[in-house]
Structure formats: C-alpha cells, structure tokens
Structure 1
Amino acid sequence: MADSASRFGFVEFAETWNGRLAMLGFVIGLGTELLTGQGILSQLGLG
C-alpha cells in the first residue's frame, strides 16, 4: 500500500509523467497553432 502513496508529490514517478504530459501539451498546442494560423492566446480569446 505504501507503493501507491509514493506516486504522489515530488517523487520521480510523478515528475516524469508531469514532464511527459507537458511535452504532449506543447506539441498539441503547436500543432493547433500551425493548423489554424492563430496563436494559442487568440484561440482562447485572450489576444
């Protein structure tokens, strides 16, 4: 049971997945920007 508790917080497992998801989000945002011709902020209505 202690194994599942170590997957939360600033542990290597959580930080690895955080980095992977951040890279995925960046690639999706860049792809969307290239397909639509609008920046991310303008797509959200902020720019």
Structure 2
Amino acid sequence: MIARAPQRITITIPLHVYEQIAKRSTQEGRSMSNLAAYMLERAAFG
C-alpha cells in the first residue's frame, strides 16, 4: 500500500456548525481541524 499525505480543502459552514465543532473539539481535547476531518471521514465511509 502506498502512503499518501493528507490533503487540504477549504469549506464554508454555518455559524451553528462551527460553534458545535468548536465546543466538541474543546471537550475532546483535539483541534477543530482534526475533529472535522474525523467527522468527514466517518460521513464518507461510515
């Protein structure tokens, strides 16, 4: 298997989604970027 570097994207989200990700990332002790990437991966692949 070939290892691939993570890719970057820019998205625009509603304020209420931003606030929820900010709150949850603080609770979980992780960055917003890390949490958002995790959530997107879960949504894409189950």
Identify the structure with bigger relative contact order (alpha carbons < 8 Å, sequence gap 6+).
2
Which of these two proteins has the greater Rg computed from alpha carbons?
1
Q: TM-score, length-normalised on structure 1?
A: 0.41
Q: TM-score, length-normalised on structure 2?
A: 0.41
